[in-house]
Amino acid sequence: MEQLTPNIWTETRWRGCNPSFVTTSDGVVVIDTPQLPTKAVAMRREAEAHGPIRYVINTEHHVDHIFGNHWFKGAGTVVHHQGVHDAFMVVFPDLDPFDYAMEAIPTDDPDGAALVPDRDTYYADLNRHGIVFTGDLTLHVGDHTFRLLYTPGHTPGQIAVHVPEERTVFTGDTVFSDCATWLMSSDVDQWLASIERIRTLDVDRVVPGHGPVTTLDYLATQRAMLLEWKAAVAVAVAKGWSREETMERVSFASRYPVDIGQEYMMEHIQTRNAGALWDRFTAVSATSGR
């Protein structure tokens, strides 16, 4: 894992999210867990080399941020927003989250297959219970403060973790740094407001949900990407394009690559993004027209 400060480690080169941990004078705080089983086991071992794990914080409910919780059971209290707890391991209604997680193992973590229990055992032992909160929450661990800020948009239970002593914020998927943004079931207007909230923080570094570590300056780029998606689909709706036409014609595939390990999903991301925004715009139009 990459050491960003004397107390922060993160990993931006594994398939899945950027899992991280922060060391304090009274143990370790983990922020998101690796999707790949062998990476989760290795990260737990590395974190515990610095002291006992006090908390495991999940920034959202998607598989790539939480599947590794299984291998952190017994290592600290799980902490996440009510929205994460309620939707834990749910991606889309038509996508089985366990199968989705397992899909990555043959290609990205073949040794991990032996570490994964069967489906029923995994779900029976789901490591999601601990501290569940609404709004914001502040944790004090040793000489560090962890401000869990409610930043909905990408998901309803999205949070960012601000560690003022390290001048660092972990944004989760509110920021996709130099890689394709996944909109899907997001609320883009909430997302834009959450970007503005993060922008007010006094930090030197931004650890995104995906892609390289960056700075607050990148928030303008993320904001612009969301606005461009909204504008492009709004124009499609204004032209009377159907959902299928919009999904076929609106794409930002040339803008950024897909994050590590999911390059084959570019078309899926683009069509899902366009379809989700079309649904939102046409739902608003239908409501306002009544």
Do 184 and 124 sit in the same domain of this protein? yes
**What DSSP letter does each residue of the chain carry, written as one string?**
-EEEETTEEE--SSSSS--EEEEETTEEEEES--SSHHHHHHHHHHHHTTS-EEEEE-S-SSHHHHGGGGGGTTSSEEEEEHHHHHHTT--BTTB-HHHHHHHTHHHH-GGGGGGPPPHHHHHHT----EEEESS-EEEEETTEEEEEEE--SSSTT-EEEEEGGGTEEEEEEEEETTS----TT--HHHHHHHHHHHHTS--SEEEEEESS-B-TTHHHHHHHHHHHHHHHHHHHHHTT--HHHHHHH---TTTSPPPTT-GGGHHHHHHHHHHHHHHHHHHHHHHHT-
Do 92 and 204 sit in the same domain of this protein? yes
Do 16 and 73 sit in the same domain of this protein? yes
For 260, the domain range is 227-288
Taking residues 167-194, what's their average pLDDT? 96
Do 38 and 90 sit in the same domain of this protein? yes
Do 184 and 65 sit in the same domain of this protein? yes
Other CB atoms within a 10 A radius of the CB of residue 85 amount to: 18
Taking residues 107-134, what's their average pLDDT? 95
- The answer to whether the CB of 158 falls within 8 A of the CB of 81 is yes
Assess whether pLDDT exceeds 70 at residue 69.
yes
Q: Which range has the worst mean pLDDT, 44-48, 121-125, 131-135, 144-148?
A: 121-125
Do 23 and 56 sit in the same domain of this protein? yes
Do 92 and 192 sit in the same domain of this protein? yes
pLDDT score recorded for residue 287: 53
Do 118 and 172 sit in the same domain of this protein? yes
Taking residues 99-128, what's their average pLDDT? 94
> Could you give the number of structural domains in the chain?
2
- What average pLDDT is seen over the chain? 95
pLDDT-derived band of residue 284, with 50, 70 and 90 as boundaries?
Answer: low
Taking residues 172-192, what's their average pLDDT? 96
Assess whether pLDDT exceeds 50 at residue 290.
no
Domain boundary among 173, 205, 224: 224
Assess whether pLDDT exceeds 70 at residue 283.
yes
Do 192 and 284 sit in the same domain of this protein? no
- Give percent of the chain above pLDDT 90: 91
Do 71 and 136 sit in the same domain of this protein? yes
- Domain at 176, CATH number: 3.60.15.10
Angle at 222 between CA 36 and CA 159, to 5 degrees: 55
Do 249 and 167 sit in the same domain of this protein? no
Do 172 and 63 sit in the same domain of this protein? yes
pLDDT-derived band of residue 89, with 50, 70 and 90 as boundaries?
Answer: confident
Domain boundary among 196, 224, 252: 224
- The answer to whether the CB of 168 falls within 8 A of the CB of 203 is yes
Domain boundary among 198, 224, 250: 224
